[in-house]
Amino acid sequence: MQLISPQALAAYQKVVKPYEGLLVGVIGLATLDTTIHLIPGFPQSSLIELPISLSLAIAASWLASRLFKQIFDVYLLDAAINSGRKVNSEILLLVKLLANLSIIFFTTIIFSETHKINIFGLVASLGIGGLAVAFAAQKTLEQILGGIVIYLDRPFVVDDYIGLPDGIFGRVESIGLRSTKIRTSGKGTLIIVPNSSLTQVNIENFTGAKKVMALVYLNFHRIIEKEEQALIRQIILNSTSDIFGIDSRNTDVNFRELNSANEAKTQAQIAFFILGSSDVSMGLRRQLFDIATENITEKLKYYDIAFDIEDPTIYVDSPITI
């Protein structure tokens, strides 16, 4: 019976095996450090124990950093590429940086606690000097935090065309930790905008905008006069004016007569424009549009206007011109 699954063995070969020597060294230092702590009366601050503990902390943090790098390169990076989304190298670097900083932080805390070192008091003792450094780096910290907000909120991504209130319009070339580079349309110049500024202004994203035209056909059982056509048009506009995501200003209603051998009747073609920024939002707004169609049906029936709705509703992608 195989104790280790093939998946676990493959993961070990890819992640751990390249650093087996370092792993053995960390285990050896940990064993030696534990043995020293178990010796009765052995001073923890001796010239032997302190270098061993410090070496263990450095080696363990280095091993953790290398293992994370392997996991990142073998699994996370591959998953990001295969996800189908645009891969931003800056955010990948940010993830690696935060992971390494976390490893250093927790290693420092554990080492200081085991050796009775009040590291928080040491940091607090920096006092005015620390405040001066923080004040001097205030703008830089604002820009870095702005970059993190952009990564999380994703108002735009690389290759999107965006417009800013000051008239800047162009394609996003890169999103860094401190600034975003925009290649202006027409002139072709490169503008570097601090991320802290981008989090405080209205950004118009032209690439992320989506517009779908929904065509609905109403077949009335008789000829609709001009007065009734005006009533029907008003009912349709009122039924969709308060629905978020439907551009009621561009809603268009056209009537035409259909003459056949048996009867003459009127058909209404209604063109709705549904706006959205993602497939999820578009799906939700199409559901709201279906509800609006039901409201139109109920209101027309209230006025004893008989009709049939042609199925299915036709959806046509209507790209927004940049």
Q: What is the pLDDT of residues 63-111, one digit of tens each?
A: 999 888 888 877 776 665 555 555 555 566 677 888 888 998 898 888 8
Q: Can you read off the two tokens belonging to residue 90?
A: 């800056």
In a domain, residue 105? The reply is: yes
In a domain, residue 134? The reply is: no
Domain count, the chain: 3
User: Model pTM?
Assistant: 0.43
Q: What is the pLDDT of residues 27-39, one digit of tens each?
A: 998 898 888 777 7
- Could you tell me the residue range of the domain that residue 91 belongs to? 6-124
Final residue of a structural domain among 160, 188, 205? 205
User: What's the CA gap between 192 and 180, in Å, rounded?
Assistant: 6
What percentage of the chain reaches a pLDDT higher than 70? 77
The pLDDT of residue 61 is 92
What CATH number is associated with residue 288?
3.30.70.100
Q: Does pLDDT of 235 surpass 50? A: yes
Whether 138 contacts 154, CB under 8 Å: no
Q: Can you read off the two tokens belonging to residue 67?
A: 């293992």
| Alpha-helical segments (H) within the chain | 6-11, 20-38, 49-71, 77-82, 89-114, 119-124, 128-136, 138-153, 195-198, 226-240, 279-302
Q: Which is it for strands 252-259 and 264-276: parallel, antiparallel or unpaired? A: antiparallel
Q: What is the mean pLDDT of the chain?
A: 79
Sequence length of the chain is 322
The pLDDT of residue 30 is 87
- Exposure of 195 by Cβ count < 10 A (0-12 exposed, 13-18 middle, 19+ buried)? buried
The pLDDT confidence band at residue 3, using thresholds 50, 70 and 90, is low
In a domain, residue 221? The reply is: yes
